[in-house]
Chain A
């Protein structure tokens, strides 16, 4: 494929958002156009994944505006980015079609669909950007879209929660800018490929400086990922997002943070001592898993339970990233592949659960567990969807969750350090707790015979998009080999960024120059043996 085409997943939602905004008021036309665009976008993403996975290097890069790297704005699509693109577009399309049954006219008049596409645009942009500052801009686009969508309808709790969400994210963004400034000051570049080249050649004080600056970035990503102790914004804000859209939020937004962690801390920062940030992540992951699931256990509202579960699930992915700190290539590949597989599984299943929760709420008239009951009798199909998705979330075979957890635990056990063992133990305990709180939803909302009459019968259409996601998680569990192999292939490009670096126009030359510089330094250091000691 032509490298220029990789910006299509950014351009399509951008145009769609603008056109849908101009079409404001034509309710039906807007829906049709939104659905067609979302499906087309999914098609483009899948095609990109196929094309890039089939190519020799597995990476395609381009720069915008005809400036070569490191000056131009690089956009790079490797396998990992393409997997994420498929997920954001696919889950976006599913959630968008689901909203046809939930969106109100008022919401639609307040730019619900344009904002939806702005969020998809931000996500896709974040996955493709090969430049730290560009990543920041894409985060902002995504966040501004999400602020708007969270407030669509503007009820009192919505406005209050959005206020907190904006406040926290604005602080996060400022720290992001500061981190970008610090990294630019220490390394002189922001292009990810260039950073990967330059940080690998750093030594001594300079390397320590970059590590220090990267922890500032770590804070930002941890906040966006909702890792412990920076998760407090999430459980309050997600329940106020309009139904349907919250499936997309739950699936995608925090995973953009996980993706950034994976991209930046595993691939970009390669200076000696870069394991420090990963070790921190490994420790955080244990707390994230445990606190998330404990929070979920004491909630009594479906959306809140599921929101807390996002946190605990994020812990698993962060654990996979943290395991990269163990210097063993096999463990590294296994951990990253496991993380990628887990991300895919999680996005699908979590979105699905939110959508099913929405349907159950519609059937029972509320999402408060203590007031619900009897959904199994009223809507057996919905109950079926829920039980499959929740088993998958808890990690029971034969669904995708089992495999995802299994790979991560295997990587942790293969790691062989005490810390890894502890984290693995926490992960297993968390898994049991997850099952417990899923049974709670099942027992109260579905199984218990309480209300006999369903509030709304208009839910059958909503089950179709939800069922698509359920089918994906079953297929990923039963017929896992192609998916896990794709995940391992994606992991290799992340761990060994040579192909990534060479794909960016202008970077090959830049890297050779860096190599020369390093060779010069090596000879000069070799000629002064005392100097080496001093540096160490």
Chain B
């Protein structure tokens, strides 16, 4: 039974050509193009400054997911954004965060898990940023999964 259902869900997006008439309102699309880009940029800035100022991976990730939500609103649940396997993004983020902690066990002087050192080259880059990158990805992945899956409504 899974096979069958599975194929139907898999085929539906492919059958419909992703043409112009698939989109939501054109106003939303036009606005979303700029607004989403801008939000994504802001989210990156907030993410980067997070290690010693307000900000960080979580808030940056939420903002980036907000950008993703705009794109979803504009282009609908069949757009390329909705087809990314967002949960994989989360898992990769988790791996990045964990790996940072483990690598630091070997690199840092104290040898503690998730110890912190600062790299000064090529830019000012504390290792917390790598951990935060993982958090950023986890948050984007989780939120986008929620948006995409709850937005589908194919059951009806």
Contacts and interface: CB of A to CB of B under 8 A. Distances in A.
A206 B132 CA distance: 40
Interface stretch (B23-31, B39-47, B56-64, B113-121): B113-121
B98 A18 contact: yes
A66 B95 contact: no
Interface string B96-140: 001001100100101111111000000000000000000000000
A15 interface: yes
A4 interface: yes
A7 interface: yes
Contacts of B102: 11
Contact of A7 (B91, B113, B115): B113
A66 B98 contact: no
B110 A66 contact: yes
Contact of A2 (B88, B111, B114): B111
A278 B151 CA distance: 50
B113 A4 contact: yes
A65 B91 contact: no
A144 B98 CA distance: 19
Contacts of B92: 22
Contacts of B95: 15, 18-19
A27 interface: no
B94 interface: yes
Q: How large is the interface on A (under 10, 10 to 19, 20 to 34, 35 or more residues)?
A: 10 to 19
A64 interface: yes
Interface in A1-56: 2, 4, 7, 11, 14-15, 18-19, 21-22
A62 interface: yes
Contact of A65 (B2, B87, B98, B116): B116
Contacts of B87: 21
Nearest to A6: B113
Nearest to B105: A4
Contacts of B111: 2, 4
A106 interface: yes
Given A4-B105, A14-B98, A65 B114 contact: yes
A63 interface: yes
A65 B112 contact: yes
A64 B113 contact: yes
A62 B112 contact: yes
Do most interface residues of chain A lie in helix, strand or loop, or is the interface mixed? helix
Contacts of B88: 22
A81 B155 CA distance: 47
Nearest to B94: A18
Interface string B1-15: 010000000000000
Nearest to B117: A66
A66 B91 contact: no
Interface of B: 2, 87-88, 91-92, 94-95, 98, 101-102, 105, 108, 110-116
27 contacts: A4-B113, A7-B113, A11-B98, A11-B113, A14-B98, A15-B98, A18-B95, A18-B98, A19-B95, A21-B87, A21-B91, A22-B91, A22-B92, A62-B112, A62-B113, A63-B112, A64-B112, A64-B113, A64-B114, A65-B112, A65-B114, A65-B116, A66-B108, A66-B110, A66-B112, A66-B115, A66-B116
**Ordered nearest first, which 10 A-B pairs have the shortest CB separation?**
A66-B115, A66-B112, A65-B114, A21-B91, A66-B110, A18-B95, A18-B94, A4-B111, A7-B113, A18-B91
